[in-house]
Amino acid sequence: MAAEVKYPIGDQSFGEIIRNGCVYVDKTAYIHKMVTEGKYYFLSRPRRFGKSLLVSTLEEYFRGNRELFRGLAIDRLEPEEWNSHPVLHLDLNGKDYTNPSALYEQLEMHLDNWEAAYGRNGNVPSVDNRFREVIKSAYVKTGCRVAVLIDEYDKPIVDAQDNEQLVEKYRNILRGFYGVMKSCSDYLKFVFLTGVGKLGQVNIFSGLNNLRDLSMNPEYSAICGITTDELVDNFQPGIKELGRSKGWSAEQTLQALKHNYDGYHFAEDMTDVYNPFSLLNALADKKLSNYWYQSGASKRLYDRLKDWDSPLRDLEGTMVSPRVLETGDMLGNDLEVLFYYTGYLTIKQVMDSLDGELLVLGYPNQEVRDSFFEGLAREWTRMSENKRHIWVNGLRRSIREGDIDRFLTMIQEFMAGNSYRTNPDTEIHYQDLIYIISRLVGLNVDVERATSDGRIDMILDGPKAIYIIEYKLDKLPEEALRQIDEKHYDRPYLSLGKPIVKVGVNISTATRTLDSWLIKDDAEG
């Protein structure tokens, strides 16, 4: 009987993963490359991408715990004797930094532990000076240069972003603290900072301006996450078990995993990377589920959308220059940057233009796309989760049965009690709501589709029919229906072999919902 595969779900300790015999995807060649090529590094990746595991692996490496690395790439790449270095590991996760004292408490806790291990030089008052002294003390006591590893460097400021005074306070603290590492270069072996994104405007690295940023470096695209080759090489038992539970072939199983959890690209080389948290959970559970949504998302992200003056549909397919992502601020005004760093958008295409390369952003995979729309529904509706589930299933059933009238009635009832924009009296607002609902239901939706005669407001591709929908604000639905006919919006779809249903809809700004509609099924005359 084959041994049960152990998946390190939620375990970010490299030592525990190895000692417990869990599956480990070997990333140690990247560590060797970093150590031999430089000293100061920064890496950003979305949540649940294995950043903490990478930090833990670095810690065990610098402590010289070679036994943990037997059989791994770095064991072969570094055959000589390993040295043990003092490691200062600062983990800023697991705290709520909206409490003004939280950052000081976290820094002082770590400093107390480090000073207990390496000694304290006198009565040093400030956290940055204490940090400087403990680096020197660790070097003097051990005779070896120090490795500094900082996990979730940005969390205090991200947590406090709604409080400008607190952000400024944290900025000054962290800028002084991180800046110590540049002045202590003679005592340092290695410095690595990681977090979700960049904080350009906050400028907490002004004193540490020698960091090499690996975030969009093609040589480090897969330093976190799992590539297709790594999936196939390390997880054959899990792939077979999932396939067996679903009645799928190996190829079908891999396609399903790819569709749901792959698709991240962190550099212009377009190396495909799976979200490791979601992938491992799917293999362990032997089912495809939405683990991204279950693991939690930022309410602030959805709140930021309320004042965004562009259609939500424009998020997918938006174009940015590489520099915008490389130097952007996730707390700034560019919503695309925030969505990229948080993992809701990724690089889907690299395009050449007269002004240089442009990056096309899009949802990485089905799981993230579904999570985004589920999150919108959760944040912007007044329904309980159970009622929302029943409502969504009702919408799906309506479309599955070809009952567009019932579908629109359910949307009408929903919109009457829900709004998300600061200024909802725009056509964009209502189009967005219907678009969100349609994507949540799982429909293929095309919005503002250009034709030779104009732009179609919305195309819904249902199992029984193609629905061509035109909206009007405070006008008669007959007018919307007439526009569909006069501009021949149905022409691009006549050859697809599906019935075409034309729908003219009036939206009332007074009631802020669908007011009336007319349905014309050409097959019925």
Three-class SS string for 438-472? HHHHCCEEEEEEEECCEEEEEEEECCCCEEEEEEE
- What pLDDT digit, counting tens, does each position of 368-395 carry? 988 888 887 777 766 777 888 888 899 9
| Cβ pair 386, 343 in contact under 8 A | no
Within 8 A by CB and 6+ apart from 400, the residues are: 462, 463, 464
Angle at 338 between CA 334 and CA 342, to 5 degrees: 170
- What pLDDT digit, counting tens, does each position of 218-228 carry? 999 999 999 99
Mean of the per-residue pLDDT values of the chain: 89
Tokens of 129: 């000076």
- What pLDDT digit, counting tens, does each position of 64-108 carry? 999 999 999 999 999 999 999 999 999 999 889 999 999 999 999
**Where along the chain do the CATH 3.40.50 domains lie?**
14-220
The yes or no reply on domain 14-220 and CATH 3.40.50 is yes
Q: How confident is the model at residue 3 (pLDDT cuts 50, 70, 90)?
A: low
Element (H, E) at 166: helix 164-183
**Where along the chain do the CATH 3.40.1350 domains lie?**
381-524
In the block, tokens 């965004």 appear at 308
Cα 29 to chain center, whole Å?
25
- What pLDDT digit, counting tens, does each position of 226-270 carry? 999 999 999 999 999 999 999 999 999 999 999 999 999 999 999
pLDDT given for residue 327 in this prediction = 82
Q: Which of 16-20, 122-126, 163-167, 356-360 bottoms out in mean pLDDT, i.e. has the lowest? A: 122-126
| Cβ pair 69, 123 in contact under 8 A | no
Taking alpha carbons only, the member of 104, 189, 184 closest to residue 145 is 189
Helices (H), 50-101: 51-62, 73-77
Enumerate helices (H) and strands (E) in the chain, giving the number of each.
21, 13
Q: How confident is the model at residue 423 (pLDDT cuts 50, 70, 90)?
A: low
Q: How confident is the model at residue 425 (pLDDT cuts 50, 70, 90)?
A: low
Pairwise pLDDT comparison (370 vs 405), residue with the higher score: 405
Tokens of 56: 């833990």
The CATH architecture to which 381-524 belongs is: 3-Layer(aba) Sandwich (3.40)
- Examine the pLDDT at 145 and tell me if it is beyond 60: yes
CA distance 13 to 55: 9
- What pLDDT digit, counting tens, does each position of 293-312 carry? 765 556 677 777 776 766 77
Cα 70 to chain center, whole Å?
33
Angle, helices 127-142 vs 102-118, to 10°: value is: 20
